[in-house]
């Protein structure tokens, strides 16, 4: 590098570092981010599921900015995040619930909050229509990541936050994922390391008759049924509430993705420039024995030992790593159907363009 170029490179490096919106998480940066939310700003922040794009849930101007930054249709409602159970009644009108539903709500919050469960409840009139897309209901979540609760408590006490990705794209499980797709649009990105659960929260509707899952996620159906009994089938799929959880193509990488069970993958011809994402190491080994792919074939595994929690935590990270422009197709193996596998398979189906 020429001597003349060195100061220029240094200057732009310093400028780049100063303008980088990523702040490592600490009491100080959380305070800074909370003040930004109070002023009507937008902050990307970690939760145990995925990174969220947060704004004061009671500030319509800030909510409008979230939709704009994400390029998200306004008919798709947001989740309101609270920092403590005591804040629930500010967001949801619990007086509208019958006794049985009230008991179910108490049992669910006792067992799963804080954690990756979002509850659909009747909304308080004070919650802006923009947050709920005009619905009479509101989605509420109490995250388990302590730094997320600290941020919410120090800002407005109610932070509306969708996942911090452009609408329809892969969800972010690290600050780098947010920077890569929304950098330049968000002033502050708090970096709390990789998201532990790695899959979005389970969205459970408990105010429309028999409870039903609208989006499978971090709390498995079986665990919910163990607490409140059988859930209704989700008949709203592709129907009434049109949100990302319910849209056919969503959570998608740029390369086209096909999800299959192992039997089909073993028969699938291996093209040039394609990648494979296996659920476990044993499946990969079985496939390698039979298929003998070209050397440049990208191969990833969600969990070597087939641990479903680990697979969930690695899911979006693996898809981000495989999301390369030079790849023409990603073949993914479905996870086992039970537990968190339902959420992984739901995301694979929605990312799949076939």
Q: Which does 21 bind (CB under 5 to 8 A by kind): Mg ion, ligand TXA, none?
A: none
Q: Which of ligand TXA, Mg ion, none does residue 29 bind to, with CB < 5 to 8 Å depending on kind?
A: none
Name the site residues for ligand TXA (rule: CB under 6 A).
47, 49-50, 52, 76-79, 116, 118, 120, 132, 135, 137-139, 141, 161-163, 200-201, 203, 214-215, 241, 243-245
For ligand TXA, the closer CB: 207 or 302: 207
Minimum distance of ligand TXA from residue 305's CB (angstroms): 25
Q: Which residues have a Cβ under 8 Å from the Cβ of 305 and sit 6 or more positions away?
A: 280, 281
Q: What are phi and psi of 3, to 5 degrees?
A: -60, -30
What 8-state DSSP symbol labels residue 270? P
**What is the DSSP track for 138-181?**
EEEE----HHHHHHHHHTTSEEE--BSS-TTBPPPSSHHHHHHH
Structure tokens at 331: 């073949």
- Cis peptide preceding 114, ω within 30 of 0: yes
* Closer by beta carbon to ligand TXA, 135 or else 298: 135
Q: How far apart are CB 44 and ligand TXA at their closest, in Å? A: 10
Cα–Cα distance, 74 to 61 (Å, whole number): 13
> Which range touches Mg ion (CB under 5 A), out of 14-22, 59-67, 191-199, 244-252?
244-252
**Integer Cα distance of 266 and 283 in angstroms:** 10
Q: Identify how many contiguous H helices and E strands the chain contains and give both numbers.
A: 13, 14
Query: Quick one: 156 or 163, whose CB is closer to ligand TXA?
Result: 163
Question: Which of the listed partners (ligand TXA, Mg ion, none) does 137 bind, with a CB threshold of 5 to 8 Å by partner kind?
Answer: ligand TXA
Whole-angstrom Cα distance, residue 137 to residue 121? 5
Among Mg ion, ligand TXA, none, residue 49 binds (CB under 5-8 Å by kind) = ligand TXA
Q: Which residue is nearest to ligand TXA (CB)?
A: 243
Q: How many residues does the chain have?
A: 354
Stretch that binds Mg ion, among 9-17, 101-109, 132-140, 236-244 (CB under 5 A): 236-244
Cα–Cα distance measured from residue 155 to residue 147, given in angstroms and rounded to the nearest whole number: 12
Q: Is 118 in the site for Mg ion (CB under 5 A)?
A: no
Binding segment (CB under 5 A) for Mg ion, from list 136-144, 242-250, 272-280, 302-310: 242-250
Please, which residue, 211 or 275, has the CB nearer to ligand TXA? 211
* Contact partner at residue 141 from Mg ion, ligand TXA, none, CB < 5 to 8 Å by partner kind: ligand TXA
Q: Are the CB atoms for 65 and 182 separated by under 8 Å?
A: no
Nearer to Mg ion, 118 or 333 (CB): 118
DSSP element (H, E) containing 341: helix 341-351
Instruction: Kindly tell me which residue out of 118, 156, 163, 352 binds Mg ion, with binding defined by CB under 5 A.
Output: 163
In the complex, what is the shortest distance from the CB of residue 289 to ligand TXA, in angstroms, rounded to a whole number? 38
Residue pointed to by tokens 């990833």:
300
CB of 12 to ligand TXA, least distance (A): 33
């Amino acid at each position: 590098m020429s001597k003349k170029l060195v100061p220029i490179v240094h200057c732009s490096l310093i400028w780049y570092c100063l303008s980088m919106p990523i702040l490592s998480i600490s009491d100080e940066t959380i305070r800074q981010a909370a003040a930004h939310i109070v002023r009507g700003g937008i902050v990307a922040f970690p939760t145990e599921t995925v990174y969220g794009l947060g704004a004061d849930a009671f500030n319509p101007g800030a909510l409008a900015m979230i939709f704009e930054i994400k390029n998200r249709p306004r008919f798709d409602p947001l989740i309101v995040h609270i920092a403590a159970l005591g804040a629930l009644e500010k967001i949801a009108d619990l007086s509208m619930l019958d006794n049985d539903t009230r008991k179910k709500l108490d049992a669910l919050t006792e067992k799963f909050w804080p954690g990756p469960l979002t509850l659909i409840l009747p909304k308080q009139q004070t919650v802006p229509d923009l947050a709920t897309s005009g619905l009479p209901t509101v989605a509420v979540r109490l995250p388990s990541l302590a730094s997320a609760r600290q941020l919410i408590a120090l800002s407005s006490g109610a932070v509306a936050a969708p996942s911090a990705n452009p609408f329809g794209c892969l969800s972010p499980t690290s600050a780098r994922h947010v920077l890569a797709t929304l950098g330049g649009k968000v002033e502050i990105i708090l970096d709390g390391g990789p998201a532990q659960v790695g899959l979005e929260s389970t969205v459970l509707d408990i105010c429309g008759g028999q409870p039903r899952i609208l989006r499978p996620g971090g709390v498995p159906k079986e665990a919910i049924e163990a607490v409140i009994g059988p859930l209704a089938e989700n008949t709203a799929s592709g129907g009434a509430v049109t949100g990302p959880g319910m849209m056919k193509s969503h959570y998608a990488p740029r390369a086209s993705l096909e999800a299959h069970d192992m039997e089909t993958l073993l028969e699938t011809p291996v093209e040039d420039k394609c990648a494979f994402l296996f659920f476990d190491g044993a499946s990969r080994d079985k496939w390698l024995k039979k298929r003998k792919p070209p050397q440049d074939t990208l191969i990833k595994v969600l969990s070597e030992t087939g641990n479903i929690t680990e697979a969930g935590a690695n899911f979006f990270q693996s898809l981000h790593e495989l999301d390369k422009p030079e790849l023409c197709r990603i073949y993914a193996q479905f996870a086992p159907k039970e537990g968190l596998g339902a959420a992984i398979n739901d995301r694979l189906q929605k990312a799949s363009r076939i």
